[in-house]
Amino acid sequence: MHHPPVAAGQTARRDRRLLTVTALVEFLITASARLVPTGTYFSDLTPYTYSEHESGGLNVSWLSDEHPYPRGKAPDGLVDALVRLAKDKVNVYRGSHFCELCPTFLEAQKNNYIGGTFVGSGEIHVPGEGSVLYIAPAMIAHYVRDHSYLPPYDFCHSALSTHSAG
Ligand SMILES: [Zn+2]
């Protein structure tokens, strides 16, 4: 049986349109997820200015795929301490954030949780030496575990002491 050429042409056009729409939706999902964290990069130990409600804090771990960051072997127990701190995270109202350093969006989505603890939103606050308050995204646990991020020495030390004290 011979299909009329017009009908075949319509089917092909519809398939092409469907493909285009699917590709566009995928592109938008990926692009919006990647765009959310833009503008939240701060280098370590700069004054925290992200929210006017917190003054006197120091930034730690506000990483971006557009900036190099310190790498190295983190002290033993640091990831556990950070995950534990992430259970008591603050400022969670800012919405979900996906890791920009993960190679794929699916992987970034998966890494929004570490051992059942959500790290895709909110901050952890760690008191340091003197009156210092370190402010890091909860995502820091993932950065240290999976992207070899090495936070400043005093932050690591303070996070580990906070964890042991708690
Ligand atoms: Zn990642």
pTM over 0.75: no
Give pLDDT, residue 73. 97
More confident residue, 84 or 95: 84
Residue 83 has pLDDT above 90, yes or no: yes
Residue boundaries of the structural domains of the chain: 1-35, 39-165
Give pLDDT, residue 2. 57
| Separation of alpha carbons 29 and 82, rounded Å | 29
How far, in Å, is the centroid of ligand 1 from the Cα of 142?
6
Q: pLDDT tens for residues 37-68?
A: 445 789 999 998 876 666 679 999 999 999 99
Q: Give the residue-averaged pLDDT of 80-93.
A: 90
CA atoms within 13 A on the CB side of 26: 9
How far, in Å, is the centroid of ligand 1 from the Cα of 57?
25
Residue 101 has pLDDT above 90, yes or no: yes
How far, in Å, is the centroid of ligand 1 from the Cα of 144?
9
How far, in Å, is the centroid of ligand 1 from the Cα of 66?
14
How far, in Å, is the centroid of ligand 1 from the Cα of 103?
7
How far, in Å, is the centroid of ligand 1 from the Cα of 54?
27
How far, in Å, is the centroid of ligand 1 from the Cα of 4?
52
Residue 35 has pLDDT above 60, yes or no: no
Q: pLDDT tens for residues 124-165?
A: 999 998 889 999 999 999 999 999 999 999 999 999 998 654
CB contact burial 56-77 (16+ within 10 A = b; e otherwise): ebbbbbbbbeeeebeeeebbee
Q: pLDDT tens for residues 109-120?
A: 999 999 999 999
Give pLDDT, residue 155. 97
How far, in Å, is the centroid of ligand 1 from the Cα of 76?
20
